[in-house]
């Protein structure tokens, strides 16, 4: 007796927009799908070139969660493969988990294919590394509170800003004045560099560099209120020091260290440890708004 047909839902990260930022795995999932559900307002139409001519194409912009789940139920009953295309990476602000949970209740197999997040795409467009030795070694991904989705206690932008490291701020352009206030209250100087990115990797993309002090006027000048990401932090204009990764004094499983370079590197590390201070400390005292006198 033949096994009953089993369906599958694959959540596909389509990246920030450009169709050629799809992974090979994502393109294969779309090509194998009987049903493709995609976010037409957030994903470029070229991604559908991977779909079969006979595949059913649905625009999620017109669908509620219940509508989408109904497709998953139909797929489970008929043994269909569904490609659910999300913008960016499904791990971030994609409404993915609630769908995965409903699929588990239905009893249909799921797979998640990661995608390029917009913060990575914007860093690439700005030609910046977000972690610079001795300047910033962490990246905080967050959004401004006060929107449709409440922020949990302790996750306010001002609290994260106290770390002084690199921040990627999503879904915050409509309240740029509040964003600036919270960044300053957290301790960033007004001169802190910012990259403002609208529709990154789309034909109409706009990448503008400014500072926290000019962020609000930059947003209003370009009339930005959605599809905008901010990168903030001292790493965005810092060169830092040489990393250890390719230093001749650094060794790993595939390369031996040069003895003389190794001694110099260890001496340098010891001196750095004695005189280390944070980038914010190095900028001197600040007033109540985080501005260096």
pLDDT single digits (tens) 175-193: 999 999 999 999 999 999 9
- Nearest by Cα to 88 from 29, 139, 12: 12
CB environment 129-144: b (16+ within 10 A), e (fewer): bbebbebbeebbebbb
Low-confidence winner among 67-76, 150-159, 180-189, 208-217 (lowest mean pLDDT): 150-159
What mean pLDDT is predicted for residues 121-148?
93
| Tokens (6 digits) for 262 | 């190794």
Taking the C-alpha atoms of residue 64 and residue 250, their distance in angstroms, rounded to an integer, is 54
pLDDT tens digits for range 70-100: 999 999 999 999 999 999 999 999 899 999 9
- Nearest by Cα to 112 from 90, 88, 130, 133: 90
- pLDDT for 147 beyond 90: no
How does strand 166-170 pair with strand 228-232?
antiparallel
Taking the C-alpha atoms of residue 246 and residue 18, their distance in angstroms, rounded to an integer, is 32
pLDDT of residue 285: 40
pLDDT of residue 18: 93
How large is the angle between the packed helices 212-221 and 176-186, nearest 10 degrees? 170
- What percentage of the chain has pLDDT greater than the value 70? 89
pLDDT-derived band at 288 (thresholds 50, 70, 90) equals: very low
What separation, in Å, do the N-terminal and C-terminal C-alpha atoms of the chain show?
A: 80
Residue 47, SS3 per DSSP = helix
The residue written with tokens 């340098």 in the block is 268
Answer positive or negative: Cα dihedral of 214, 218, 220, 221.
positive
116 close to 89: Cβ distance less than 8 angstroms: yes
Inter-CA distances, 34 with 29, 53, 112, Å: 10, 10, 17
pLDDT of residue 269: 67
The residues facing 60 across adjacent strands are none
DSSP assigned state of 94: S
């Amino acid at each position: 007796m033949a096994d009953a047909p089993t369906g599958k839902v694959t959540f596909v990260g389509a990246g920030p927009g450009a169709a050629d930022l799809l992974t090979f795995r994502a393109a294969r999932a779309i090509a194998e799908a009987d049903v493709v559900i995609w976010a037409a307002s957030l994903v470029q139409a070229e991604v559908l070139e991977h779909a079969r001519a006979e595949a059913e194409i649905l625009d999620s912009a017109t669908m509620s969660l219940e509508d989408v789940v109904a497709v998953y139920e139909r797929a489970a009953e008929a043994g269909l493969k569904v490609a659910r295309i999300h913008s960016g990476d499904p791990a971030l602000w994609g409404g993915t988990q609630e769908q995965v949970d409903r699929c588990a209740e239905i009893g249909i197999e799921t797979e998640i294919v990661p995608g390029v997040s917009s913060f990575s795409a914007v860093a690439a467009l700005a030609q910046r590394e977000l972690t610079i030795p001795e300047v910033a070694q962490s990246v905080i991904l967050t959004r401004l509170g006060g929107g449709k989705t409440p922020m949990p206690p302790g996750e306010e932008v001002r609290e994260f800003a106290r770390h002084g490291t690199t921040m990627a701020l999503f879904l915050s352009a409509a309240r740029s004045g509040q964003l600036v206030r919270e960044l300053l209250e957290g301790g960033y100087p007004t001169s802190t560099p910012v990259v403002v990115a609208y529709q990154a990797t789309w034909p109409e993309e706009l990448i503008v560099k400014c500072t926290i002090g000019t962020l609000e006027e930059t947003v209003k000048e370009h009339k930005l209120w959605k599809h905008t990401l901010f990168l903030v932090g001292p790493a965005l204009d810092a060169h830092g020091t040489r990393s250890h990764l390719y230093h001749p004094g650094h060794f790993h499983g595939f390369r031996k260290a040069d003895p003389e370079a190794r001694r110099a590197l260890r001496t340098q590390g010891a001196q750095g440890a004695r005189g280390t201070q944070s980038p914010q400390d190095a900028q001197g005292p600040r007033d109540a708004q985080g501005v260096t006198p």
